[in-house]
Structure 1
Amino acid sequence: MTDSPPFWQARRLDEMTTEEWESLCDGCGRCCLHKLREDETDTVLYTDVACRLLDTDSCRCSDYAGRQRKVPDCVRLTPAALADIDWLPPSCAYRLVAAGRPLPWWHPLVSGRPETVHEAGVSVRGRAISERRAGPLEHHIADWPGQMPAARKPRVRRQARDRSGPDGESR
């Protein structure tokens, strides 16, 4: 019996179903941080300021279906739009898959658990501030949202083995 590769390795982004496309989002929230563009160099400057709709604990949009109505400049990411967007974080699965690169171990499609993106320290949880409290974006420029996370698998603590004998005495 042969195992077929996962959908993100077997299909191009524009061949994916809506469900497959949406599942590529790892839930890190980095794309929902405000960005500035340097006028002279056209360089993207990342901030640690989150869109007002981003729940900074869950790292999910609080009104995903109505986001573009409430935040008109919110970008609807599509395979066609992806080619023109230069501000997605380097860890973004859409960018990785488009470039033929593997998804990292912490991505929920690989780990099987949505919490691994937070456990690995990749998400904005505990690192972002809401735009409602932030003040000027220029005061919140940060490098980390635009860098590939140096995420390592968390160490698993082994439980101490019971070294007592049948009578309860230690050996």
Structure 2
Amino acid sequence: MPDPLTPAERRAWRAALVVADVLRLRVTADLKSVTDLSHAEQSVLMHIEEVDSGRINQQRLADAMYWSKSRLSRQLTRMQARGLVERSKDSDSLSVTVSLTSRGAQAIRAIEGAHAAAVRDHLLSVATDTELAAVLSLAARLVRPESSLKREKRANK
């Protein structure tokens, strides 16, 4: 069994969680005055909108969001009932495609400015350029396949 985290490792882990939680809380709170979308709904809509076609395979969406298939499915069911997204089965396979409805596209466009202001206020104006570069670098390494991360870690020892 591996050793427990050292106090320094535990502080680093907790700090990473705090950053994510605080940013999510503050940005979502700022957007409450302009939308009734939940953070999860905003995230789903933003991911779909970022795809050029405005349509994405449901499993690819789950993978992109680091969500389980069942979590995404339940979320999409609620969003479909609200008229924000629609799902369709591909005729040539068993896969499902998720797309924005006009209501979903309008909802996400309506909060773009407020979202940008909140991100600037709570992250970009607080972090230095060096800190932002470090976050971007770390995120790029974390999204690589796990096997390549392990090889890189061994090579750097």
Structure with the larger helix share: 2
Larger RCO of the pair (alpha carbons < 8 Å, separation 6+):
1
Same-fold call, TM > 0.5?
Answer: no
> What TM-score, normalized to structure 1?
0.23
> What TM-score, normalized to structure 2?
0.25
